[in-house]
Amino acid sequence: MGAALISFVAENIMSQRKISVCPHDCPSTCSLDVEVLDDRTIGKVYGNKGHSYTAGVICAKVSRYAERIHHPDRLMHPLKRVGSRGVGIASYERISWDDALDTIAENFSDIIKTHGAEAIWPFHYAGTMGYVQRDGLDRFRHCLGTSRQHSTFCVTLADAGWKAGTGSKRGSDARLINKSELVVVWGGNPVSTQVNVMHHLSQARRESNAKLVVVDPYKTKTADKADLHLMLKPGTDGALACAVMNVLIEENLLDLEYLNKHTDFNAQVAEHLSSRTPAWAAAITGLSENDIVEFARLYGSTKRSFLRMGYGFSRSRNGATNMHAVSCLPAMTGAWLEEGGGALYSQSDIYGLDKTLISGLDVPHAHNRLFDQSRIGPILCGNPEDLQGGPPVKALFVQNTNPAVVAPDTNKVLKGLAREDLFTVVHEQFMTDTAKWADIVLPATMFLEHNDIYTAGAHTSIQLGPKLIEPPGECRSNHDVFIALSERLGLSHPANDMTERELIDRTLKATSLPGIEELEKTGNLDCALEFESANFATGFENTDKRFHFSPDWSLQGAHAEGMPALPDHWDVIDKPSDDCPMRLVTAPARQFLNTSFTETASSVRMEKQPYALLHPNDMARYKLTPGELVLLGNELGEVAIEAKLFNGVQEGTVVVESLWPNSYFVNGIGINSLISAEPGKPNGGAVFHDTAVWVRSYAPAKAKPEELIMAEAH
């Protein structure tokens, strides 16, 4: 047999296809069909055709997963820093797992003796969305009594806004999009961030000639496909939503019966909205009155309208109020009662997985200090208010996240990570910008190398991601690391005596669901509610069962002061000023998943480099030429980046698709150095798209000519 034939046989006959699930922090949580070539190697990754939401469609970057999982730069062995800390300065040498774990345990024990356990901050986010590998860190926190974390990178503002009206984080089944006559994608970019929406939309287009409206400050790949793109100024969605409601009332396009039966809508709300005219909103949003009215008429006259709400428009100081204002729309028209109608932000609340074992919720623990993760910069820099009278953070244990790039206020984060007296451990798959500051780096498994279970935001199933191949080198799963570390620190918990599979089985059964063997047969368990419950026809999840136009914000967080009592434009954003006349949007790049995939060559090749997308008139105003390097800046930092001419954005808004590692910027620091760590209200939440900046030509300080230096010296 020739070599080509042998490899053909190996790939097509010997290989097997196994069902798994995408572990990344993406609402789609796609069911995957993975080509397993042998017990250490995968081939191509496909979308599972048998899963009713995935329907065989996944994004390109995950179809190329072999490139990430078999990457030559994967961390394979524990490493210890030798010499000084710092990116490009630190060097690392290989050590054994025993040495690494002993060093961590010794340092933690010393810190506890001197400063107390709250001086240790185990810091994580959603690099994997698997419950076992993501939330085990909570158990470790509870057992050791360390500082805890308020997770505010992503959903906090959106959750508050959505729940203010509906009472529960769930919504219409996205598989019914195919029955819709109008799909409104509001503040999301599914072509890049959750491709399956586009698949279900294309069915709706085929079956009922559905229209697509996109509300986004720039012409994304999704907006490109829209029948109507409302290209508003960032942070002004509340104004647009109110003006739409104004037209619905003025033109009698509302469903009074629905409003009376299912909502708290009353004369006061109507009176308030009567002043929120299209002209009023046009001045705030920068949209034309015509476009606002056209959209309102389309929405008001199409009952089968599906509102797919993204996170984008909640990442502002007024994000929760914007989310709430937009969520009022299907209550105005009664679209909730239609198949293919209503709204979806996320389905997270339908699962109710019992996390007692995984998160160690049964451990009797004092309510240790809770840190806002988005304020990691000020916290590490010792800001007294953030430290809440407790000890400074003396040790960080980082898993599943890359705060040196993703957190707000990068300059402060890096200043904190540079502290000589901070002991930092990073458990990672790659030498990320965060790992480059660590004292100890531990190599982590990827999702196909360990077992886990996953729930989804965009659909309704619990899925099993079984271990399909052996990990490379000495990579260990997060679960295994907790067990080994807990042993050394003398911590015991029943979950630490369980394998990943046992922990999954016990968690499912504690939730009154079939166990792992049942899940293994099908790969997924559909937890969808009946249509009537899903679309709140049987009541919203508020005590009065009604949708709330007048929300009680204090139920959503402790900082509700000053929030508007009714849907409105809440004018608290970082407004353009003489000093900082532009507004910055830092939307996700298509080929990356936050910072994941910034290490794979194909993704980087396709994204090429970071760009500042600028309107031609802004280019002219600041005397810039396309392709030249510009500086974006504000009081927090400066970023050097190539300017790109872009027509699909309002004047005064600049877009930088993210999240590139710091080294891809000409001055070595990334886009989040411009983002404030100020928490949104009422419950915190990072304000990634709420930033005023200045723009100017980048003129790096040129070396002075020698004669000038000589002249100055005399």
How near is the Cβ of 660 to ligand SF4 at its closest, in Å?
Answer: 18
62 binds, among ligand SF4, ligand MGD, Mo ion, none (CB under 5 to 8 A by kind): ligand SF4
Give the nearer residue to ligand SF4 in terms of CB position, either 195 or 269.
Answer: 195
Q: From the list 120, 158, 195, 395, which residue makes contact with ligand SF4 (rule: CB under 6 A)? A: 195
548 binds, among Mo ion, ligand SF4, ligand MGD, none (CB under 5 to 8 A by kind): none
Give the nearer residue to ligand MGD in terms of CB position, either 588 or 633.
Answer: 588
Give the nearer residue to ligand MGD in terms of CB position, either 75 or 120.
Answer: 75
For position 24 contacting ligand SF4 by CB under 6 A, the verdict is yes
Cα–Cα dist 566/560, whole Å:
13
Q: Which stretch binds ligand SF4 (CB under 6 A): 23-31, 403-411, 529-537, 644-652?
A: 23-31
Q: Under rule CB under 6 A, how many of the chain's residues touch ligand SF4?
A: 12
Residue type, 700: P
Strands 211-215 and 182-186: parallel
Bridge partners of 110, per DSSP, are none
How near is the Cβ of 509 to ligand MGD at its closest, in Å?
Answer: 24
30 binds, among ligand MGD, Mo ion, ligand SF4, none (CB under 5 to 8 A by kind): ligand SF4
Which residues 6+ apart lie within 8 Å of 534 measured at CB?
Answer: 170, 171, 172, 173, 528
Cα–Cα dist 55/58, whole Å:
9
How near is the Cβ of 69 to ligand MGD at its closest, in Å?
Answer: 11
Q: From the list 19, 22, 90, 440, which residue makes contact with ligand SF4 (rule: CB under 6 A)? A: 22
For position 194 contacting ligand SF4 by CB under 6 A, the verdict is yes
Residue type, 575: K
How near is the Cβ of 126 to Mo ion at its closest, in Å?
Answer: 7
For position 230 contacting Mo ion by CB under 5 A, the verdict is no
For position 596 contacting ligand SF4 by CB under 6 A, the verdict is no
For position 157 contacting Mo ion by CB under 5 A, the verdict is no
Give the nearer residue to ligand MGD in terms of CB position, either 215 or 516.
Answer: 215
How near is the Cβ of 29 to ligand SF4 at its closest, in Å?
Answer: 5
58 binds, among ligand MGD, Mo ion, ligand SF4, none (CB under 5 to 8 A by kind): ligand SF4
For position 154 contacting Mo ion by CB under 5 A, the verdict is yes
Helix or strand (DSSP H, E) at 35: strand 31-38
Comparing every residue's Cβ against ligand MGD, the nearest one is 312
Identify which of 388, 356, 347 has the alpha carbon closest to the alpha carbon of residue 136: 356
Give the nearer residue to ligand MGD in terms of CB position, either 127 or 341.
Answer: 127
Which residues 6+ apart lie within 8 Å of 584 measured at CB?
Answer: 632, 653, 654, 655, 656, 674, 689, 691, 692, 693
**Phi, psi for 394 (deg, rounded to 5):** -105, -15
Cα–Cα dist 47/61, whole Å:
12
Give the nearer residue to Mo ion in terms of CB position, either 26 or 45.
Answer: 26
Strands 653-655 and 582-585: parallel
Give the nearer residue to ligand MGD in terms of CB position, either 276 or 546.
Answer: 276
Strands 423-428 and 440-443: parallel
Q: CA–CA distance from 133 to each of 50, 73, 328 (Å)? A: 26, 22, 37
Contact (CB, 8 A) for 14 and 6 = no
680 binds, among ligand SF4, ligand MGD, Mo ion, none (CB under 5 to 8 A by kind): none
How near is the Cβ of 53 to ligand MGD at its closest, in Å?
Answer: 15
Bridge partners of 428, per DSSP, are 443
Give the nearer residue to Mo ion in terms of CB position, either 154 or 323.
Answer: 154
Angle between helices 131-144 and 478-489 (to 10 degrees): 20
Which residues of this chain interact with ligand MGD, rule CB under 6 A? 25-26, 125-128, 133, 153-154, 186-189, 192-193, 215-218, 220, 234-235, 237, 310-313, 315-316, 399-402, 406, 427-430, 432, 444, 478, 585-590, 592-596, 658-659, 671-672, 675, 688-689
User: Which of helix, strand or coil describes residue 549?
Assistant: coil
How near is the Cβ of 30 to ligand SF4 at its closest, in Å?
Answer: 3
Contact (CB, 8 A) for 26 and 128 = no
Contact (CB, 8 A) for 613 and 587 = no
Cα–Cα dist 269/285, whole Å:
21
DSSP of 209-223: --EEEEE-SB--TTG
Dihedral sign for Cα 489, 494, 498, 501, please: negative
Q: Which stretch binds Mo ion (CB under 5 A): 110-118, 149-157, 231-239, 464-472?
A: 149-157
How near is the Cβ of 62 to ligand SF4 at its closest, in Å?
Answer: 4
525 binds, among ligand MGD, Mo ion, ligand SF4, none (CB under 5 to 8 A by kind): none
Identify which of 315, 313, 339 has the alpha carbon closest to the alpha carbon of residue 326: 313
Here's the x/- map for Mo ion, 103-142, by CB under 5 A: it reads as ----------------------------------------
Helix or strand (DSSP H, E) at 163: helix 156-166
For position 687 contacting Mo ion by CB under 5 A, the verdict is no
How near is the Cβ of 527 to ligand MGD at its closest, in Å?
Answer: 21
Give the nearer residue to ligand SF4 in terms of CB position, either 188 or 341.
Answer: 188
Cα–Cα dist 304/81, whole Å:
59
How near is the Cβ of 155 to Mo ion at its closest, in Å?
Answer: 7
**Phi, psi for 66 (deg, rounded to 5):** -55, -35
How near is the Cβ of 330 to ligand MGD at its closest, in Å?
Answer: 17
Number of Cβ within a 10 Å radius of residue 190: 25
User: Which of helix, strand or coil describes residue 602?
Assistant: helix
How near is the Cβ of 600 to ligand MGD at its closest, in Å?
Answer: 11
Helix or strand (DSSP H, E) at 291: helix 289-300
Identify which of 552, 652, 627 has the alpha carbon closest to the alpha carbon of residue 167: 552
Q: From the list 15, 20, 29, 285, which residue makes contact with ligand SF4 (rule: CB under 6 A)? A: 29
How near is the Cβ of 414 to ligand MGD at its closest, in Å?
Answer: 15
- Residue 153, class by beta-carbon neighbours within 10 Å (0-12 exposed, 13-18 middle, 19+ buried)? buried
Give the nearer residue to ligand SF4 in terms of CB position, either 30 or 498.
Answer: 30
How near is the Cβ of 25 to Mo ion at its closest, in Å?
Answer: 5
Q: Which stretch binds ligand SF4 (CB under 6 A): 25-33, 92-100, 163-171, 353-361?
A: 25-33
Residue carrying the six token digits 């918990």: 493
For position 26 contacting ligand SF4 by CB under 6 A, the verdict is yes
For position 504 contacting ligand SF4 by CB under 6 A, the verdict is no
Which residues 6+ apart lie within 8 Å of 297 measured at CB?
Answer: 247, 251, 253
Here's the x/- map for ligand SF4, 56-95, by CB under 6 A: it reads as --xx--x---------------------------------
432 binds, among ligand SF4, ligand MGD, Mo ion, none (CB under 5 to 8 A by kind): ligand MGD
Which residues 6+ apart lie within 8 Å of 692 measured at CB?
Answer: 574, 575, 576, 577, 580, 581, 582, 583, 584, 634
DSSP 3-state percent helix, strand, coil across the chain (nearest 5) = 40, 20, 45
Give the nearer residue to ligand MGD in terms of CB position, either 146 or 586.
Answer: 586
Helix or strand (DSSP H, E) at 157: helix 156-166
Give the nearer residue to Mo ion in terms of CB position, either 395 or 671.
Answer: 671
> Residues interacting with ligand SF4, by CB under 6 A?
22, 24, 26, 28-30, 58-59, 62, 194-195, 593
> Residues interacting with Mo ion, by CB under 5 A?
154
